[in-house]
Structure 1
Amino acid sequence: MKGPRETDFAYQAVYRYLTSLISEHATDARVRLPSLRQLAQRLNVSISTIQYAYSLLEKEGRVYSLAKSGYYATPVPSISTLYSGSDLLEMVYSHARRPGTLNLSADEPALLQPLDSPLLLLERELLRQYPRQPQASSQPCGELELRTALAARYTSSPVRCWHADEVYIGADLRGVLEILITVLSLRGATVVVESPCDCALLRLLQDADVRVIEWPLLANGALNLEHLEALLETEQVRLVMVSSGVNMPRGSRAPDHNRQAVAQLLARHDCQVLENDCYGELGFEPEGLHFRDLLPAERLIVFSSFEKIIGPEAPFGYLLSRHLGAELQRHFLLRAFRLSPIRQKAIARLYSNGRIDHHLQVLRRRLKDSKALMTQLLQERLGDALHFVEPQGGSTIWVSSLRRVDVRRVFQRLLKHQVVIAPGELFSLQGLHAQHLRLSHTFASEHDLAGALGLLGDALRLEAID
């Protein structure tokens, strides 16, 4: 990747290479592009650099991704048959990337306030300090500077403290969680998850042959203590996954007293607790108690990623664990993630210089404002057709139809108008949310949102089930 334009960032060179590759294969047929690992080896750059270049092309509508399949060049001139299978999640992913589509299925909080410019400026400064060279093999779990910054971020007292050697960073969240599934021997084991649950997490557990039991939230967003107690008494539960802050996609947050009661129950049973902190800092109001404040670290594992608060230019996933050190280190070494040390150092500086905290203040305010606009439009235009949960954080709204409808047919009808929604069935493996859908409230200003909501209302009426 070195040559006449050595001063360019690596992702810019990768972007130009992919642009040329796409142009060479311009056709109305589906053309699969090289995988992240193939390109990283071919071009001698990190997987995260490849991911960032692909994400830019996705935003431009020049490529699209399919779960478990890879990246494809958008067919030219036709884009009408991106995916013809029956897998609903892949259908949502493929159509959401079509140029000109209003993607109301998205969950991209950082879209409103990306941190790409400050991050790239820091990279430029760091590249002057650290000549580009292969990543040191002695840091398979991530750059020490970033692991130290994260450990400090999660430390809240002399008792509730973390250290850099208890932090593990991978190329993306999926890869990190795949390692965790292996280390905990979850294949065939029973895992309890809050429901609704993030569709990507559900798909990951399903693909790993994990037995998932869904734990539905109460109508007010609280955790159902009696239901969990019954599960722990009657099932051989290996792991319970809980939200750190707001539950996504529902957008609600369990009260502190409810969390304390659940933590006391979990402490009496022999199972691991996995805290999902991907949205932990995206609540609109000041944070309350986390499960990591209530449970001993020896029983707890925390996972998150930078993507929800920084954007796709920071795709790394990470987890914190005090008691799985030897096995995690071994598997991270075997996995051999190719991570950009400079990108990691730049993210670490965003934490240490306070830029992340300032960014989060602005991002939360903008998310709250866009939520208010969306809920107002929903109330005005679809108040007689939909009920929605007032979200307490994040970039989406959880809504349900007041009439019984076929939501999948609603989804198909809206596709004809290049509007994509996320049907509620994606967020359950047991059909618990068939009358729900998730709507994004972070959208590009050039789209006619009011018109799209009108189309949604029409589709709901036409697909009502008598």
Structure 2
Amino acid sequence: MTRQTKNNDFAYQAVYRYLLELIAQMAPGSYSKLPSLRDLAQRLNVSISTIQYAYSLLEHEGRVQSVPKSGYFASGGNVPALPFAGEDLLQDLQQYARSPQMLVFSGAHSLPSMEASLLGVERQLLRQYPRPLGPVHPCGELELRTALAARYTRSVALYWNAEDVYLALDLRSLFETLLAALELQGCTILVTSPCSWRLLRILQSAGLRVIELPLGADGALDLERFASLLEREPVRMVMLASRLNSPHGSLMPSAQHQAIAQLLAQHDVWLLENDLDAEYYFAANPQACLREMVDPQRLLVFSSLERSVGAEAPYAYLLSRHGQRRLQRQFLARGFRLPPLRQQAVARLYAKGRIDVHLAQARLRLRERVTHLYRQMQIQLGSQLHFQMPAGGVTIWAQVQMPTDSRMLFNRLLRQGLLIEPGEVFSLHGDYRQYLRLGWPSGAQGDLQSGLSVLSEELQRAQKTGKLP
């Protein structure tokens, strides 16, 4: 492995590509043994753990086979390469994010999972109750809905009951059911921007007309523009973050809450409060949520268990004190059949306080990672990007100092095995082309510095030429 390869590639990726070339050079139809971990580590001057990680990626793809006490084997033949980037930026982003050949700077894998704890509680429940405890409820298991209602209850004035909680398979199905129940299909919704590209596409696919309202650098709304849009446009819903604005990484100033609540009441508009990232703030004492100041009859709160428990519990949930009969009827019509045992296991984790402990530990780890990422970005990218330490989350929102096109930068970096999230995917109108979002990379520890170095070189090249070549 040459010095140039080490500087421009990331260790496990370079090993991965080297092994792909070895396999491609084998005679078609042959079945041959590949070099051992130790031999490759000495040959390529990298650690054994790096070699093992590259082999595990190939094994996961089905390209190599591990034979106990014998090593790794592969069948000869050509290895397909990754396709070139296409016209759909979001599709490219999702496609390349799944590729083990890419160093992905999304931070998505930084969110911890409670898989082991969840499965452990499931096994306990299965031993105690080998038979189902009762029929599947269309709105979700009562035990879990009760736990969620208790979690959101703050006082005798701001409380929730199990009947106010509804569970769905995922966010998309939750939105579709909610809109049908409250007869809000095709309505106009106002959202803060930049906004999660997943939520934007869900809203768009649900047939809603989406108006984007840019956030200030401090997370504040332009209240005059907000009031003007409510006055001029037929807005039926406003989607605001409960605490943390994602991907912006900012907190809405609590001083604005009262004015926003008054405007929502004045125009009789639903508040659709996004609680997906509320648990990942960094402050020791979180600020109050806007929902504590609005009419509960015009309030909808949504989130996903996946954000706190992990991918093993992808179920979305809604809190609403309005239209119980219509919501229950619509959920019954949809016929969601969420696994009762898993819901009960999640409920037990909430009841025992294990999710709270898990989230507290996760916040500490995330803050350490994001702080380290921020400092490394200051060192390597401080003169090229404008950014600030976020108030929470797993990523940093950054603006390129010089005029450039994040789509071109995205494609340039792809060729070097580096995946970033261009700013324009966080707007339905393709805004934020001067922005990008960076999170802790998916590879080994040393790949952070290498990846930032590659990004810095591309930005320097753009600055010298006046554009991205």
Alignment TM class, shorter chain as reference? 0.7 to 0.9
Report the CA distance between 1:183 and its aligned residue.
Answer: 2.7
Aligned to 2:175: 177
Match of 2:146?
A: 148
Shift of the 324–211 alpha-carbon distance from structure 1 to 2, 3 Å rule, reads same
CA contact (8 A) 1:109 1:308 kept: no
- How far did 1:389 drift? 2.9
Q: Which runs of 5+ in 2 are unaligned?
A: 1-55, 63-76
Question: Does the Cα contact within 8 Å between 1:82 and 1:94 map onto a contact in 2?
Answer: no
Shift of 1:327: 2.0
1:101 deviation in Å?
Answer: 2.0
Q: Distance in 1 between matches of 2:167 and 2:444?
A: 35
Q: What SS does the aligned partner of 2:403 have?
A: coil
- 1:54-133 alignment runs, 5 A limit: 62=61, 78=79, 80-81=81-82, 85-110=86-111, 113-133=112-132
Q: In 2 relative to 1, CA 129–271 (structure 1 residues): closer, same or farther, beyond 3 Å?
A: same
- For residues 421-465 of structure 1, give each alpha carbon's deviation from its aligned partner in whole angstroms, at most 9, with x where no partner exists: 110001111233111111113644355111111111122233454
Superposition pairs for residues 344-363 of structure 1, below 5 Å? 344-363=343-362
Aligned residue type for 2:271: V
Q: 1:299 to 1:345 in 2, by over 3 A?
A: same
Partner of 1:313: 312
Structure 1 unaligned regions, length at least 5: 1-56, 64-75
Question: Partner letter of residue 350 of structure 2?
Answer: Y
Determine the structure 2 residue equivalent to 1:282: 280
Secondary structure in 2 aligned to 1:342? Answer: helix
Contact 1:108/1:308 (<8 A) preserved: no
**Equivalent residue, structure 1, for 2:166:** 168
Partner of 1:224: 222
Given the alignment of the two structures, is residue 459 of structure 1 paired with residue 455 of structure 2, yes or no? no
Contact persistence 1:246–1:253 (CA under 8 A)? yes
In structure 2, distance between residues paired with 1:173 and 1:126: 27
Post-superposition CA distance 1:64-109 (Å, at most 9, x none): xxxxxxxxxxxx9745346864211111111011114211134344
Distance 1:62 1:126, change over 3 A: farther
SS at match of 1:281: helix
Aligned residues, how many? 395
Partner of 2:66: none
Measured against aligned partners, the alpha-carbon deviations of 1:196-248 in whole angstroms (never above 9, x if no partner) come to: 11101111112222111111111222122111101011111010000001100
1:263 aligns with 2:248: no
2:6 corresponds to: none
- 3-state secondary structure, aligned to 1:310: coil
Q: d(CA) in 2 for partners of 1:59 and 1:226? A: 55
Question: In structure 2, how many angstroms separate the alpha carbons of the residues matched to 1:78 and 1:447?
Answer: 27
Structure 2 partner of 1:380 = 379
Work out whether 1:246 is the aligned partner of 2:247: no
Aligned to 1:412: 411
Q: 1:159 to 1:189 in 2, by over 3 A?
A: same
Matching residue of 1:12: none
Task: Report the equivalent of 1:196.
Answer: 194
Asked if structure 1 preserves the Cα contact closer than 8 Å seen for 2:85 and 2:411, the reply is no
**Gap change, CA 1:417 and 1:454, over 3 Å in 2:** same
**What is the alpha-carbon distance in structure 1 between the residues aligned to residue 317 and residue 169 of structure 2?**
9
The whole-number CA distance in structure 1 between the counterparts of 2:139 and 2:303 is 15
Give the deviation of 1:116 after TM superposition: 1.2
The higher radius of gyration belongs to: 2
Per-residue CA deviation, residues 129-187 of structure 1 (Å, 9 max, x unaligned), is 222549714x1111110000000000000110000011001111221122123334444
Q: Provide TM-score, normalisation by structure 1.
A: 0.80
| TM-score when normalising by structure 2 | 0.80
**For residues 341 and 317 of structure 2, what CA distance do their matches in structure 1 show?**
17
Q: What amino acid maps onto 1:166 in structure 2? A: D
C-alpha change, 1:350 and 1:201, in structure 2 (3 Å) is same
State yes or no: 1:441 paired with 2:440. yes
Equivalent position of 2:24 in the other structure? none
What amino acid does structure 2 have at the position aligned with 1:93? Q
Q: What amino acid is aligned across from residue 272 of structure 2 in structure 1? A: L
1:299-334 per-residue CA deviation (whole Å, 9 max, x = no partner) reads: 100000011222111111100011121222122112
Alpha-carbon distance in 1 for matches of 2:58, 2:428: 29
The superposition leaves residues 371-394 of structure 1 with CA deviations (integer Å, 9 ceiling, x where unpaired) of: 110000100001110011321111
Whichever residue aligns with residue 436 of structure 1, its letter is Y
Q: Is 1:293 aligned to residue 289 of structure 2? A: no
Identity over aligned pairs, percent: 46
